[in-house]
């Protein structure tokens, strides 16, 4: 169950992802909404979100050069707070260190409220030591708020999303989430 409350006067659009299911919703100013769902799709495994406590993030570049957004640094993508973000107009990569090896089944890069700032063309690689990187575990073109990357479940400590083509848009990540197989 999810309870959402918009404490502002203006409508606010947000996205929700639970496992492989996602939806967007616009909540009017001052409104309260409750969303409920049950169970797991047959033939799949339940995913359990890994706490971001102890995670760190680095990027190249470390943040935007534009004076408007100098606080949008890489660490914001791994702080567990979707109201902060990493963004850049010329992003090359964002790398997250989970602080320890986890058996990730899925990693989600979430633009938060900056829904148009998704990666246009990207690759995602993983590493256990931060020096030796896998071949791309995913590549493609982002299409919206969530860029979801399936991972094998083998131990991984680092994940890196690299932009492989430039665009006229910003690249922002408000939140990185990792999921392991777990009980529902």
Q: Average model confidence (pLDDT) for the chain?
A: 85
Helix (H), strand (E), coil (C) string for the chain = CEEEECCCCCCEEEEEEECCEEEEEEECCCCEEEECCCCCCCCCCCEEECCCCCCEEEEECCCCCCHHHCCCCHHHHHCCCCCCCEEECCCCEEEEEEEEEECEEEEEEECCCCCCCCCCCEEEEEECCCCCCCCCCEEECCCCCEEEEECCCCCEEEEEEEECCCCCCCEEECEEEEEEECCC
Here the tokens at position 47 are 């995913």
First and final C-alpha spacing in the chain: 13
pLDDT in tens, 135-172: 889 888 888 888 999 998 899 999 999 988 777 778 88
Confidence of residue 65 (pLDDT cuts 50, 70, 90): confident
For the chain, the structural domain boundaries read 2-38, 48-181
Q: What is the pTM of this model?
A: 0.76
Q: Could you identify the residue written with the tokens 């963004």?
A: 87
Classified by CATH at the fold level, domain 48-181 comes out as Jelly Rolls (2.60.120)
Q: What is the pLDDT of residues 96-119, one digit of tens each?
A: 999 999 999 999 999 888 888 888
Phi/psi at 29 (5° precision): -55, 135
Residue with more model confidence, 17 or 39 = 17
Cα–Cα distance measured from residue 163 to residue 90, given in angstroms and rounded to the nearest whole number: 9
Residue 184, pLDDT above cutoff 60: no
């Amino acid at each position: 169950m999810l309870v959402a409350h918009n404490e502002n006067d203006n409508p606010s659009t947000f996205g929700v992802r639970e496992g492989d299911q996602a939806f967007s919703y616009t909540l009017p100013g001052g409104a309260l909404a409750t969303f409920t769902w049950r169970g797991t799709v047959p033939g799949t495994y339940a995913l359990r979100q890994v706490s971001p406590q102890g995670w760190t993030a680095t990027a190249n570049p470390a943040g935007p050069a534009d004076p408007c957004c100098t606080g949008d640094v890489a660490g914001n993508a791994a702080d567990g707070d979707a109201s902060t973000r990493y963004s850049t107009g010329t992003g090359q990569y964002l790398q997250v260190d989970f602080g320890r090896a986890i058996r990730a089944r899925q990693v989600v890069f979430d633009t938060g409220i900056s829904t148009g700032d998704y990666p246009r063309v990207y690759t995602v690689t993983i590493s256990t030591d931060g020096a030796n990187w896998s071949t791309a575990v995913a590549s493609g073109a982002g299409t919206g708020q969530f860029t979801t990357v399936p991972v094998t479940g083998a131990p991984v400590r680092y994940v890196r999303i690299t932009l492989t083509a430039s665009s006229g848009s910003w690249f922002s990540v408000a939140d990185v989430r990792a999921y392991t197989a777990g009980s529902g």
